[in-house]
Structure 1
Amino acid sequence: MHHFDRIDGALHAEGVPLEALAGAVGTPAYVYSTATLTRHYSLLRAAADAHRGALGDALIAFAVKANSNLSVLATLARLGCGADTVSEGEIRRALKAGIPGERIIFSGVGKTDAELAFAIEVGVRQINVESGAELERLIAIAAAKGSAPAIAIRVNPKIGAGGHAKITTGGATDKFGVPVEEAIDLYARASASPHLTPVGLACHIGSQIMSLAPMEAAFHTLREMVLTLRANGHSVTRLDLGGGLGVPYHGQTDTPSIADYAAMCARVLEGLGVEAAFEPGRLLAANAGLLLSRVIQVNQRTGSPEEGGGRRFLVLDAGMNDLMRPALYDAFHDLVPVRPREGELRAYDLVGPICESTDIFARDRMLPPLEAGDLVAFMGAGAYGAVLASEYNSRPLVPEVLVDGDRWAMVRSRPSYEDMWAREPRADWL
């Protein structure tokens, strides 16, 4: 569900024509819809509240790594959303956007001493501990500060799931979390320390998961662990269920609904008396954003099919430095003309201007006729789009725009070349 629709034949972001945005800010550019962010958060909030008996006053903590733009975070903060963070920088972004420390979860497999100290200082809701080594470091840091921060132990349930091997995080060979038995031991060690307050367990098994079954299996593991820990005399009041529920990039209609997801979580947690936390990223942001691009030219290759002849390359001004997901994860993004031309569909290879063979978004994509200068939009680009962008090939970083009804604002500007050079002071001997 999103709020990018055609009005008088041209694609709009809510009430703003994309053609007008392209004229004002140039291309490529990311465009986000406030209405879509609001709708997706509200759906998950309502679904969780419908099962308050099993899930408690559940926290929805947006995964900042999916989209860390301050205006996007501030939009969610005003709705009551929290933040799932994996670095000091992300914690600072969440705080800057108006998300209070008590709604911030600090996760991550490689937190530094300085980051752990900062998390304690600002009073985050909890720190998700991912190893025995981290636990010992945190005890020492908390002791030096005379503090006892709330922690959860992140469990690796040996259940990996996701839309690609590179976004699976709960398998036995993945770097995240600790096995069940080790997690039980770490919880006991944390309980024995006066410098920590263990409150629960955390689990996140992957991203873009299109079936509830693996998540349900993982959550059953957490349930059994809660019962074991309580039998051993430990208090467990929270379960962090992570995120990972997939979105329909391909336009699927059989994907699990948010309501079904919340109902499954409630069914597994029923009777435990814990407070749940959800960490959605793409679920809230993916379909709330698109990447606006312009066709540079169409390259028609001659020769026999065996020699690559007959291929039609749609060369765009957006490259893999602007949208990394296809090159990184073989990800699919629908491409739609902003104002489509009439004519038969044609097969195009969608490519960018980067000097890399991996700078290709799709092969043999069937599209209406396109010509140089036409505007197109990569849909479902609101998550893991701008956050992964770079200035590779010395291309200025892609800007971001937030739309709210008929109004819009540039929420990250495109740097000038002089801005880029200013970040690289020349050595004084050159």
Structure 2
Amino acid sequence: MGIFKIEGGIQLKGEITPQGAKNEALQILCAVLLTPEKVTINNIPDIIDINKLITLLGNLGVKIQKNGNSSITFQADEVNMGYLETEAFKKEGGSLRGSIMIVGPLLARFGKGYIPKPGGDKIGRRRLDTHFEGFINLGAKFRYNREDHFYGVEAPDGLTGTDMLLDEASVTGTANIVMAAVLAKGTTTVYNAACEPYLQQLCKMLNSMGAKISGVGSNLLTIEGVEALGGCEHRILPDMIEIGSWIGLAAMTKSEITIKNVSWENLGVIPNVFRKLGITLEKKGDDIFIPAHVNGYEVKTDIDGSILTIADAPWPGFTPDLLSIVLVVATQAKGDVLIHQKMFESRLFFVDKLIDMGAKIILCDPHRAVVIGHDFKSQLKATTMSSPDIRAGISLLIAALSAKGTSTIQNIEQIDRGYERIDERLRAIGANIVRA
């Protein structure tokens, strides 16, 4: 297991360019299974979770040609469906949460799809019901082997379009259902669909391949099934979670940082949520400029003077993946914040590590925490800690970079799952961080 050693309390300065979006890439890469023609994907992040999925696609028989930095051409003209029934697939598929999204494309094109219980972050229960109920609505037969935790759906005569109301606006569930429906007979409507930018990107890519999807960007999608899809070229958006991470890093370390090419129109409420914490953000073209907050940052209260509450919600609400960042940034704000993590019941448990560093946090229950800001009057103290998941890991890294002394973060593979060469990129703007 690797570790990071971080000397904190150093002001950083410079420019940083966000990687391609992890959560978009997981969907887009699975979509290459829908056509036998070549699909070129650009701006692919070089991170553990994405590389695992690319390896899995290769083992399925997808031809993979690297074109250069972050660009790959895929061709799924000789898919080996027998691989789905091997022990190797059970091991590989079970190590990656995003592997669930191969099921929709395989079901649509080949009439069957299998998946072991997928892995990923241990942040609470992450149900798969939305995915499989969608497939069943399209006419697939579902089976589940409890001993092996192995899921299967089959539709040897093809899928048939239908109207469905999703029980939750699941991003991956919506993506999986859309990818299954594009080759179904007839028309499918999906109400309460997720409408995140990454889901919009998937729909735009599928339309460029010949799909007929309307309502993109809304929570009501209409999909007219087509006979076949062709190839295309697609570019992945910059990662909004990484952009939010750099905003938090700049504020906590009182650093002057420019985040390049952020795709402002796809950031939604993210900039405004950080502004509510008192952080100054300037729009410069398609960049974000954060000046050094030498005098700290003050939390804005609600209009009636009550404590600011920041909660996650389906898009266009605030993404749950940034609540851990907001929480750590609030530890040094002037003022208090209530963090309400609605989606996952285990995601806030990392706060005990911040409390060990001197943060004032009251964990009210698994979903809510009150953060009492220090206003930089009491600096966080260095410690040794372990990263429990991707987003908590980056939050602890930000805390360590602002803390007094040298911190050690263990289990950094969790951070590497979602952030590309993060130690190199931080050193480029002046951070003292060593991988060991």
User: Shorter-chain TM-score category?
Assistant: under 0.3
TM-score for both structures, normalised by structure 2? 0.27
Bigger CA radius of gyration? 1
TM-score for both structures, normalised by structure 1? 0.27
